[in-house]
Amino acid sequence: MKNRVLFVDDDPDQCELFAATLGREGFDVRTTTSAAEALTLVAAEAFDVVLTDIGMEEMSGLELCARILGDAPDTVVIVVTGVGTMETAIEAMRAGAFDFLTKPVDSELLALSVARATKHKRVTDEIKTLRESAGRGGPGALIGESPGMKRVYNLLGRVSASDATVLIQGETGTGKELIARAIHAQSRRESGPFVAINCAAVPPTLLESELFGHARGAFTDAKTSRQGLFVEASGGTLFLDEIGELPLEVQPKLLRALQERKVRPVGDSTEVSFDARLVVATHRDLESMVFEKRFREDLFYRINVVNIELPPLRDRGSDVLALATHFLDKFAKSSGKGPLSLSVQAAERLTAYDWPGNVRECENGMERAVALARFDHIVVEDLPEKIRGYRSERFVVAAEDTSDVVTIDELERRYLLHVLKLVGGNKSRAAQMLGLDRRTLYRKLDHYEEAAKNGGPSRG
């Protein structure tokens, strides 16, 4: 949809000139030579930006600006004048104008000013909408209306009613445990226990005992018998986080437990039945691990009954601002501060950032911003330095001179690595995006690695 602009000037020639200039830049322009009609139009229609000349006989542009903002404070107004004095500029800013332009206005400067104003309006409207909806969403990752999250919500609603095993995949910090808890809360097992364990946080020697239990005397410190987490979670849900870190020697025992619905505690000769629904999660590419013989194929198919892939925050668009607003409310309340909003400049930095730490990084960043906030809104200076100084990386093919030219083979190597970086190292996803089968991608990557070690040319 085109951005709508209203231009007000009692000179018809100026109206025609501005309409033609902005029309060529893709704006939908309406003009009027009457300030009174401009007030009527703004009251009846939605405009992204209003440009007004200052020196009009019926009503000055400064008065028109003040009246528009008094009736519709979310409107963005730019004033235009033939007398570009500092005093006039100050008066325009006091009247609430977003920008101040001096005639004759350069066409590029005009288009740039209006583009900046429409972006400001869009971000301001978005922040306002998020503020009004704050508190209606769930925690953390369950906030957002991006297409990727809508797909997740759809799967949640469909899978929660069953007892099927669910594999949740996504980068670190995307909120995998929150999704697991949501599955449990929406299931028929909601009154039962939700038991969680991070497989990467427990030493391999103890993990088997944690999962399956142990008999008294099974090892040195086993002074009493203990039921494992599978039995403890009976009637509810067992969540195994970071299942990609599960030691190979434990994997066949987990597979047997899932097949038989029974576990054998360490050091015991009898099996114990359990009735727990299994939900697992990982940030690793399990299909690649299966191919590399680091994860059992039969176990992978056993746990991959329903797959939910959480999108990284950088792919979730305006969800970033929804999450930031949620966390601002959370930390402002816990710290005893009043409601805090995002400034437009801070919001722009948040949406430009690529969030390698995902939702968790957003939460930490907003906690810091609340702690440092000096006003009733968050400014750019309150944000972490990584976000303030972020510059997007781009993969550029074009070379400026012959010294930048590389071979086709080197270009392919760089591009493969670039795509891998984009998908967080997920080789299966990278192969799919590149139109390669996984074996070809592995072969190329192995070759490039070997060539780099030998310091010779690479031929993929």
Q: Looking at residue 273, which CATH number applies to its domain?
A: 3.40.50.300
Whether the predicted pLDDT of 302 surpasses 90:
yes
Local confidence band at 1 (pLDDT 50, 70, 90 cut-offs): low
Whether the predicted pLDDT of 334 surpasses 50:
yes
Higher pLDDT, 134 or 374: 374
What mean pLDDT is reported for the chain?
85
Does residue 296 belong to any structural domain of this protein?
A: yes
What span, in angstroms and rounded, lies between the C-alpha atoms of 275 and 279?
13
Contact in structure between 243 and 281 (CB atoms under 8 Å)? yes
Contact in structure between 340 and 328 (CB atoms under 8 Å)? yes
Start-to-end CA distance of the chain, whole Å, equals 45
What span, in angstroms and rounded, lies between the C-alpha atoms of 333 and 327?
10
One domain, residues 261 and 324: no
Q: Which of 388, 417, 443 is the last residue of a domain?
A: 388
Whether the predicted pLDDT of 376 surpasses 80:
yes
One domain, residues 174 and 296: yes
Written as six digits, the tokens of 243 are 């299942």
Q: What is the pLDDT of residue 166?
A: 96
Contact in structure between 79 and 37 (CB atoms under 8 Å)? no
Burial class (CB in 10 A: 0-12, 13-18, 19+), 394: exposed
Q: How far is CA 252 from the centre of its chain?
A: 36
One domain, residues 346 and 238: no
Local confidence band at 421 (pLDDT 50, 70, 90 cut-offs): confident
Q: Looking at residue 21, which CATH number applies to its domain?
A: 3.40.50.2300
Local confidence band at 452 (pLDDT 50, 70, 90 cut-offs): low
Q: What is the pLDDT of residue 242?
A: 95
Does residue 321 belong to any structural domain of this protein?
A: yes
Q: Encode pLDDT of 177-197 as tens digits.
A: 999 999 998 899 999 999 999
Local confidence band at 438 (pLDDT 50, 70, 90 cut-offs): confident
Does residue 395 belong to any structural domain of this protein?
A: no
| β-strand pairing of 262-263 with 272-273 | antiparallel
Contact in structure between 416 and 444 (CB atoms under 8 Å)? yes
Half-sphere exposure of 417 (CA within 13 A, CB side): 12
Whether the predicted pLDDT of 146 surpasses 90:
no
194-198 β-sheet, strand order: 194-198, 237-241, 277-282, 166-169, 306-309
Written as six digits, the tokens of 70 are 């008094």
Contact in structure between 378 and 339 (CB atoms under 8 Å)? no
Q: Which of 108, 133, 158 is the last residue of a domain?
A: 133
Residue 293 belongs to domain spanning: 146-309
The domain tally of the chain equals 4
Q: Encode pLDDT of 16-58 as tens digits.
A: 999 999 999 899 999 999 999 999 999 888 898 999 999 898 8
Local confidence band at 437 (pLDDT 50, 70, 90 cut-offs): confident
Whether the predicted pLDDT of 92 surpasses 80:
yes
Q: Which of 309, 344, 374 is the last residue of a domain?
A: 309
Whether the predicted pLDDT of 135 surpasses 50:
no
One domain, residues 279 and 207: yes
What span, in angstroms and rounded, lies between the C-alpha atoms of 294 and 248?
7
Contact in structure between 121 and 108 (CB atoms under 8 Å)? no
What share of the chain has pLDDT > 70, as a percent? Answer: 89
Q: What is the mean pLDDT of residues 119-141?
A: 62
Q: What is the mean pLDDT of residues 251-273?
A: 91
One domain, residues 75 and 197: no
Q: Encode pLDDT of 214-245 as tens digits.
A: 787 666 676 777 888 999 999 999 999 999 99
What span, in angstroms and rounded, lies between the C-alpha atoms of 322 and 145?
9
Cα-flanking dihedrals φ and ψ of residue 141, to 5°? Answer: -65, -15
Beta bridge partners of 388: none
Whether the predicted pLDDT of 415 surpasses 70:
yes
Q: Looking at residue 362, which CATH number applies to its domain?
A: 1.10.8.60
One domain, residues 67 and 168: no
What span, in angstroms and rounded, lies between the C-alpha atoms of 57 and 202?
78
One domain, residues 303 and 347: no
Q: What is the pLDDT of residue 157?
A: 83
Does residue 252 belong to any structural domain of this protein?
A: yes
Of 396, 400, 437, nearest in space to 418 by CA = 396
Q: What is the mean pLDDT of residues 338-342?
A: 86
Q: Encode pLDDT of 278-301 as tens digits.
A: 999 999 999 989 998 999 999 999
One domain, residues 379 and 284: no
Does residue 397 belong to any structural domain of this protein?
A: no
Does residue 52 belong to any structural domain of this protein?
A: yes
Whether the predicted pLDDT of 424 surpasses 70:
no
Q: Which long-range contacts (CB under 8 A, 24 or more apart) does 9-13 make?
A: 9/33, 9/52, 9/53, 9/56, 9/80, 10/34, 10/35, 10/53, 10/56, 10/57, 10/58, 11/53
What span, in angstroms and rounded, lies between the C-alpha atoms of 15 and 33?
8
Does residue 460 belong to any structural domain of this protein?
A: no
Local confidence band at 432 (pLDDT 50, 70, 90 cut-offs): confident
Higher pLDDT, 277 or 423: 277
What span, in angstroms and rounded, lies between the C-alpha atoms of 214 and 226?
5
Q: What is the pLDDT of residue 405?
A: 62
One domain, residues 224 and 179: yes
Does residue 34 belong to any structural domain of this protein?
A: yes
Written as six digits, the tokens of 184 are 């449990």
One domain, residues 233 and 360: no
Q: Looking at residue 417, which CATH number applies to its domain?
A: 1.10.10.60
One domain, residues 353 and 373: yes
Contact in structure between 369 and 325 (CB atoms under 8 Å)? no
Q: What is the pLDDT of residue 129?
A: 61
Q: Encode pLDDT of 5-26 as tens digits.
A: 999 999 999 999 999 999 998 9
One domain, residues 173 and 258: yes
Q: What is the pLDDT of residue 373?
A: 93
